[in-house]
Structures are given as C-alpha cells and as structure tokens.
C-alpha cells in the first residue's frame, strides 16, 4: 500500500502558513493539519488547569496525562485533522492573546515536542496531508519531497497580525523559535522558499499547488 503524500509548509509567524495550507489542501482535496493549533491547545489546557507554562516538568506531565484524540472533521468543505481534548476542540479559545503568549514556552519543552511529533505523524491515518508548522520539513516529515518555507518582511508580518487584532512581538518570537534547543525554526533541506511580502494568498498558494502538481506528474 502506498504511503500518503505530505506537503510540509514551514515558516515564520504571520507568513501565511495557515491560510495557504488551507487553500492548498482545499484545491488538492487533501487533509489540512495545523500543528500550531496542537501546541496552542496544550497551552490553553495548561492555563485552564493553572499549570505554569514555564514549568517544563509540570507541562510535560500534563501532556502525558491529558485525554486527547485525533480526529478528521469536515468544516466548510475542508477535511481537517484536529486534536480533541475529552471530545472538545477549543477553536476560539486557542486564538486569544494570552494563549499566543504561552505557546512559545510550551513549544520549547523537549518532552512536549516529542509527544506532539508522534501525534502529528499519526495524522497519516487520514490520507494525503498538507501540514503546516515550524518544524514539519525538518523534524516531523523530513523525508517528504514536498517542502515549502514561507517568509515575509517583519513589517508586513506585523501588519498582518495587527489586522487580525493580535499584538505580538514577532521579532522576539522569531528569535525564540530559531534559538530553541529542540527542533528550531529553520529552512528545511530541499525546501522551496517563498517570500510572500508582495504576494496575495492566492498567488502564494498558486505557486505551491503548481509545484506540487508538477512533481506529482513526474512520479
């Protein structure tokens, strides 16, 4: 049986990973997986249970014990891989400024990343994937032939965040992501780099879709 294909979309904060991954998945009819949402869900869970996100041992312990389940759900005609907690997915709750601030601390914990990578690889059970995050092409699916790295100028990324009503120090986030000891943010070997500072989402996703279709035709 053929192993499902994986499109890995990595990149900096506010570089359009989520938007473009959704557009690509919808165009190809593949499953969309947002790994950032998984880390956000854990950060939200910790805040809800008054677990200090900077206490690595406490967060790692919570990650081992919380009751989760991967499921593929259809929303707006798009199949999405989601991590549910006790049957619930906190879709809106994980997008708050408080959770955003907690995520880098949670994501830097080695035991958490180890647990998350296992769950992310299990998403293959749902079929061909478009997975986005910060270490998909370097750590989660380094063997995939479809690697993309999105970036944009800091000013443009900050403008996008502000337009979403989110205030975040992206320069500091970039530094933390790039310098963490485990699975730091970096351009995956063999990835196609797309700077979309002056591109629309349609243009960015169009470049990815065209490249993927070209490579699939060559297989």
> What residue numbers bound the domain in which 143 lies?
6-214
Going by the DSSP 8-state scheme, the letter that residue 52 receives in this structure is -
- Tens digits of residue pLDDT in 138-197: 999 999 999 999 999 999 999 998 888 777 888 888 888 888 878 888 999 999 999 999
- Tens digits of residue pLDDT in 30-43: 999 999 999 999 99
- Among 61-75, 120-134, 171-185, the range scoring the smallest mean pLDDT is 171-185
As for how many domains the chain has, the answer is: 1
Average pLDDT over residues 114-118: 97
d(CA 128, CA 180): 30
- Tens digits of residue pLDDT in 77-111: 999 999 999 999 999 999 888 998 899 899 999 99
**1 domain-assigned:** no
**197 domain-assigned:** yes
Sheet holding 68-75, edge to edge: 68-75, 78-85, 31-34, 129-133, 6-11, 146-151, 192-195
Q: Return the CATH number at 177.
A: 3.40.50.300
Q: Give the contacts of 150 (CB within 8 A, at least 6 positions apart).
A: 9, 10, 11, 12, 15, 16, 17, 20, 194, 196, 204
Helix (H) or strand (E) holding 193: strand 192-195
d(CA 43, CA 178): 20
**219 domain-assigned:** no
pLDDT at 1 over 70: no
**90 domain-assigned:** yes
């Amino acid at each position: 049986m053929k192993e499902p294909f994986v499109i890995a979309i990595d990149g900096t904060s506010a570089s359009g990973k989520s938007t473009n991954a959704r557009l690509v998945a919808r165009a190809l009819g593949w499953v969309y997986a947002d790994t950032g949402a998984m880390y956000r869900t854990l950060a939200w869970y910790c805040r809800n249970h008054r677990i200090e996100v900077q206490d690595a041992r406490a967060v790692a312990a919570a990650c081992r014990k919380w009751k989760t389940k991967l499921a593929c759900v259809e929303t707006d005609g798009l199949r999405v891989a989601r991590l549910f907690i006790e049957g619930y997915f906190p879709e809106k709750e994980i997008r708050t400024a408080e959770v955003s601030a907690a995520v880098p601390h949670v994501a830097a914990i080695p035991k958490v990343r180890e647990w998350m990578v296992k769950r992310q690889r299990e998403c293959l059970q749902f079929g061909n994937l478009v997975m986005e995050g910060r270490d998909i092409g370097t750590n989660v699916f380094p063997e995939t032939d479809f690697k993309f790295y999105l970036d944009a100028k800091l000013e443009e990324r900050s403008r996008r965040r502000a337009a979403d009503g989110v205030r975040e120090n992206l320069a500091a986030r970039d530094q933390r992501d790039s310098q963490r000891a485990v699975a730091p943010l970096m351009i995956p070997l063999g990835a196609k780099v797309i700077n979309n500072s002056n591109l629309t989402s349609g243009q960015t996703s169009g470049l990815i879709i065209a490249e993927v279709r070209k490579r699939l035709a060559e297989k």
